[in-house]
Amino acid sequence: MVSTVVLDLVERLGAVSVGTMVEVPLHPGEADTVAAWCARSGNELVSATEDRAVVRRGRPAMAAFADNLSPKQRPGARLWLYTNFDCNLACDYCCARSSPKAPRRAIGVDRMRRLVAEAADAGVREVFLTGGEPFLLPDLDVVVRSCVDRLPTTLLTNGMLFRGTRLDMLRRMPRDGFTLQISLDSATAELHDRHRGSGTWQRAVGGIGIARAEGFRVRVAATVAPHEADTDAQAAFHQKLDGMGIPREDQVVRPVAQRGFATDGLALTVDTLLPEVTVTADGVYWHPVGADHDDQLVTRDLFPLRTAIEEVQRRLTEYRRTVAVGAQRFPCA
Amino acid sequence: MTTRPLIVGAVAYTPNVVPIWEGIRDYFTDGPAQMDFVLYSNYGRQVEALLDGHIDIAWNTNLAWVRTVLRTDGACRALAMRDTDLTFSTVFVTRPGSGLRDITDLKGRRLALGSRDSAQAAILPVHFLREAGLGESDVDLLRIDSDLGKHGDTGRSELDAIRAVLDDKADVAALGVTTWEAIGRDQLMPGALEQFWQSPTYCHCNFTALDTVPAEHTDPWVEHLLAMDWNNPDHRHILELEGLRQWKRPHLAGYASLFEAVKQQEIAAQW
């Protein structure tokens, strides 16, 4: 019997507006034909099972979805690299469960160099290095150089270790194409120290001053729990940073994510979280807030990185499709 | 010179007609000639509205253009068309192994035609048969009149013609080349169909205005229409939906075969 599924598709899709989905019954072996027709005709195959296919009229959701994102937001534009997981602090909201007791789990210079090279070839435009506390690594300056040689790079740190050999290491880091992002949660010590440890606020403020004096671009990022968010406190925070010479575009306030050590904060899942591809020594993850959580694991294979990035993009498309299908099938009125 | 927007008529043969014309209207909003649009349920109603002056410009099929010319004794003009309208054609498809190799092989065979008001799937196929020396009595015609009034725009009757071939109710189906492309030619239904003949090219749709609408009103509109740019994402979205890459000036010689077919087949100028 000749398959007529293509005729059904042309007729059904032709009668609906762009964005509308139609369902066609399938006979064995017709799923490939539907996929081929969708690819050829510029329509989107939403799903195909043994006995039916769902097709949406118009271009695939990922293409349309990506068109509405800024270049920085597009999946695969930014790459996060967890240099290590051990830390000199044990912040009670740390999404990566880092602490002095955490095993190091470092990516290492060689893999880091290869990752960044592959990232640049795969269309990544910016790299972020985080931990743990990266300055615990003795070769961090080499790691930073290997990144900055290929892509603009930001290094996240608590800014507390700029002394002795680590200060020497900081001084060897490049100024161009490189930004230090130092954590500071509040304008005064109380809130910051409550979560990060006594005396940490003062040392972080000192670290900001050292980094600026050494000629680095410094971005300051606060992490604030929802129940502690306060507009007066936020205004005071910005005023404090203004006074330290940090431009407003380099003053960042972000919420605590309910991940890792945090018992409070934003609940984030892969289907509600725009991905930012994240690599640790253990694998590739959906987003840096989930880098120590299996639900956000994309693959254990770090290489080739392009494959992992494409998998993230594919999964995002799938999640968006699921949301759209659900929205279409379960209207609220 | 009037400041009234030009009113353009179009036939709503698919829900996508609404975003297409909203997009075109928006494109003209800041241009030298503003426009609005009115949608009709069929081409007969639209041509009547054009003749009555309810609309200034009609987005006409080739049959609607021919009928407008006949109704006005030629006191109308085509303003522009899609690039894809310049090279339209009809194809004849059959089951592989049917032994058909040319249009003349259709003698004594069954030909499934689309809607009788479809130029590409009914009127011109009969015309091409006559040109090949085959009268209507030489070929067993199976007419499938789906969506009358839409002049074959929906393509439904052509799909039904294909089904007739696959169901062995006909030996051959007459299709517009766009329908043949839409089903993936012979590549997505391997072993099911093959094209054995393709007609000379002819023109399909155009924007039609009566001569009572001064050229000084329509010229700026046409110039702005022709300036739509495939490389501009905002324009491209509209062009993709309407099925073209570029608007073109009309090529009236491309309607000669349809004028002749309408005359020979004594197709009425009025509905």
Among candidate residues A67, A23, A71, the one with its CA nearest the CA of residue A45: A23
Q: Do A15 and B182 touch (CB under 8 A)?
A: no
CA atoms within 13 A on the CB side of B21: 20
The per-residue pLDDT for A331 is 44
Q: Do A6 and B156 touch (CB under 8 A)?
A: no
Task: Place B1 in a pLDDT band, splitting at 50, 70 and 90.
Answer: very low
- B269, pLDDT greater than 90: no
Mean of the pLDDT values across residues B183-192? 88
Distant-in-sequence contacts of B262-268, Cβ < 8 A, 24+ apart: B262/B63, B262/B66, B262/B67, B262/B70, B262/B123, B264/B127, B264/B130, B265/B123, B265/B126, B265/B127, B267/B63, B267/B123
- Is residue A247 within 8 Å of A196, Cβ to Cβ? no
The partner residue sitting opposite B159, judged by closest CB among A7, A36, A42, is A7
Quote the mean pLDDT of chain B.
94
A83-92, A223-232, B93-102, B221-230: least confidently modelled range: A223-232
- Interface residue B19 vs chain A (CB under 8 A): yes
- Interface residue B97 vs chain A (CB under 8 A): no
The per-residue pLDDT for B202 is 97
CA distance A152 to chain B (A): 29
Better pLDDT: A76 or B9: B9
- A327, pLDDT greater than 70: no
- A196, pLDDT greater than 70: yes
Task: Place B3 in a pLDDT band, splitting at 50, 70 and 90.
Answer: low
Residue ranges of B 181-200 with Cβ closer than 8 A to chain A = 182-184, 187-189, 191-192
A139-143, A322-326, B82-86: least confidently modelled range: A322-326
Q: Do B15 and A7 touch (CB under 8 A)?
A: no
Quote the mean pLDDT of chain A.
90
Q: Do B14 and A14 touch (CB under 8 A)?
A: yes
Three-class secondary structure of residue B47 per DSSP: helix
- Interface residue B53 vs chain A (CB under 8 A): no
Residues from A in contact with B at Cβ < 8 Å:
2-4, 6-7, 10-11, 14-18, 20, 33, 36-37, 40-42, 67
Residue among A8, A12, A18 with most chain B CBs within 10 A, to mutate: A18
The partner residue sitting opposite A33, judged by closest CB among B14, B16, B188, is B188
The per-residue pLDDT for B98 is 93
The per-residue pLDDT for B118 is 96
Residue among A24, A40, A68 with most chain B CBs within 10 A, to mutate: A40
Task: Place A324 in a pLDDT band, splitting at 50, 70 and 90.
Answer: low
CA distance B33 to chain A (A): 28
The partner residue sitting opposite A18, judged by closest CB among B16, B156, B189, is B16
DSSP type of residue A102: S
Integer Cα distance of A204 and A209 in angstroms: 9
Task: Place A325 in a pLDDT band, splitting at 50, 70 and 90.
Answer: low
Among candidate residues A70, A177, A82, A79, the one with its CA nearest the CA of residue A122: A79
- Interface residue B201 vs chain A (CB under 8 A): no
The partner residue sitting opposite A6, judged by closest CB among B15, B155, B183, is B183
Mean of the pLDDT values across residues B70-90? 97
- A103, pLDDT greater than 50: yes
B38-48 tens-digit pLDDT:
999 999 999 99
Mean of the pLDDT values across residues B65-85? 97
Integer Cα distance of A19 and A2 in angstroms: 29
Mean of the pLDDT values across residues B110-121? 96
User: Which domains can be identified in chain A, with CATH numbers?
Assistant: 5-66+317-329 (3.30.110), 69-312 (3.20.20.70)
A243-278 tens-digit pLDDT:
999 999 999 998 888 888 887 777 777 777 889 999
Q: Do A10 and B155 touch (CB under 8 A)?
A: yes
Residue among B188, B236, B238, B239 with most chain A CBs within 10 A, to mutate: B188
CA distance A52 to chain B (A): 18
Q: Is B5 exposed, middle or buried (0-12, 13-18, 19+ CB in 10 A)?
A: middle
Report the b/e string of A107-139 with b at 16+ CB within 10 A. Answer: bebeebbbbbbbbbebebebbbbbbbbbbbbee
The partner residue sitting opposite A18, judged by closest CB among B19, B179, B182, is B19
- B233, pLDDT greater than 80: no
Q: Do A17 and B18 touch (CB under 8 A)?
A: yes
- A316, pLDDT greater than 90: no
The per-residue pLDDT for B147 is 85
Which chain B residues have a beta carbon less than 8 Å from that of A67? Answer: 233
Task: Place B155 in a pLDDT band, splitting at 50, 70 and 90.
Answer: confident
Residue ranges of B 65-84 with Cβ closer than 8 A to chain A = none
- B2, pLDDT greater than 60: no
Integer Cα distance of B150 and B197 in angstroms: 25
The partner residue sitting opposite B14, judged by closest CB among A4, A6, A15, is A15
Minimal-distance CA residue of chain A relative to B157: A11
Mean of the pLDDT values across residues A180-195? 96
Task: Place A326 in a pLDDT band, splitting at 50, 70 and 90.
Answer: low
Mean of the pLDDT values across residues B242-252? 94
User: Which domains can be identified in chain B, with CATH numbers?
Assistant: 6-85+204-259 (3.40.190.10), 90-198 (3.40.190.10)
Beta bridge partners of A55: A22, A45
Integer Cα distance of B110 and B170 in angstroms: 5
- Interface residue B236 vs chain A (CB under 8 A): no
Amino acid letter, residue B32? P
Integer Cα distance of B271 and B260 in angstroms: 19
Three-class secondary structure of residue A270 per DSSP: coil
A157-181 tens-digit pLDDT:
999 999 999 999 999 999 999 999 9
Q: What share of chain B in percent tops pLDDT 70?
A: 99
- A333, pLDDT greater than 60: no
- B217, pLDDT greater than 50: yes
- A60, pLDDT greater than 70: no
The partner residue sitting opposite B156, judged by closest CB among A11, A37, A67, is A11
The per-residue pLDDT for A66 is 61
Q: Is ipTM beyond 0.85? A: yes
